Homo-oligomer: A and B are copies of this chain.
Amino acid sequence: MTSPIGKTVLYSYWRSSCTWRVRIALNLKEIPYEIKPVSLIKAGGEQHSNEYREINPMEQVPALHIDGATLIESLNILQYLEETRPHRPLMPNDCIKRAKVREICEVIASSIQPLQNLTVLIMVGEEKKDEWAKHWIKRGFKAVEKLLASSAGKYCVGDEITIADCCLVPQVFNARRFHVDLRPYPIILRIDRELENHPAFRAAHPSNQPDCPPEAVK
């Protein structure tokens, strides 16, 4: 699973929302990258192999090999891409607006996704897992909707796509997987609809990944 310096390699799982965030940003910034699929379900999860643990000690995707380094944690990777590839910016210039972008990212990345990811749901147990996931997604989306009410333009913050949009769209997909009623969140729904056919978002979609099983393609 090592890769030569110079080639950008994304350790990815088709349905991982955290990896999806990074795929969108790489596509938007037109950074060429190779995907190395890591199956989170095959043989108890390839992310727990000794080989992959050397790449990401959290035993999760994504990990990105870039510029001779291996980076983990999706928001960190998004920020690294922004710092090193400022063309096609995904952050506003204004400091308060930048903070508003990070607020939305952090609510999703700290208070929604970690509570409904696969590892946690296994601990919660088969019987309770759907209600558990729904509860945290609804709680988080209520707050995100409120934040968007004062920050959104065409997208999450103003009229340009930012890393907040890279986080929102995959979380909406997860919400649908858990059958969350999205009608109480009209701004979230509007932004999701705005972006669903954007080529960079489309190409990053789970159903367009090389490791997406044929039966999951809609």
Residues of chain A whose beta carbon lies under 8 Å from any beta carbon of chain B: 57-60, 67, 69, 71-73, 75-77, 79-80, 83-84, 95-96, 98-99, 102-103, 105-107, 109-111, 113-115, 120, 123, 132, 135, 140, 142-143, 146-147
Contacts and interface: CB of A to CB of B under 8 A. Distances in A.
Contacts of A79: 99, 102
A55 to B, nearest CB: 11
B57 A80 contact: no
14 contacts: A58-B111, A59-B143, A60-B111, A73-B107, A73-B110, A75-B110, A76-B102, A76-B106, A79-B99, A80-B102, A83-B95, A84-B95, A109-B110, A115-B115
Contacts of A147: 57
Contacts of A96: 67, 69
A114 B111 CA distance: 6
B99 A76 contact: yes
Contact of A102 (B60, B73, B103, B115): B73
Contact of A115 (B95, B120, B135): B120
B99 A69 contact: yes
A202 to B, nearest CB: 27
Contacts of A114: 110-111, 114-115
Q: Which of A99, A120, A132, A143 has the most CB of B within 10 A?
A: A99
Q: Which of A67, A76, A84, A140 has the most CB of B within 10 A?
A: A76
A125 to B, nearest CB: 11
Nearest to A67: B96
Nearest to A73: B106
Nearest to A140: B58
Nearest to A109: B110
Nearest to A113: B110
Contact of A83 (B72, B80, B98, B123): B98
Nearest to A71: B99
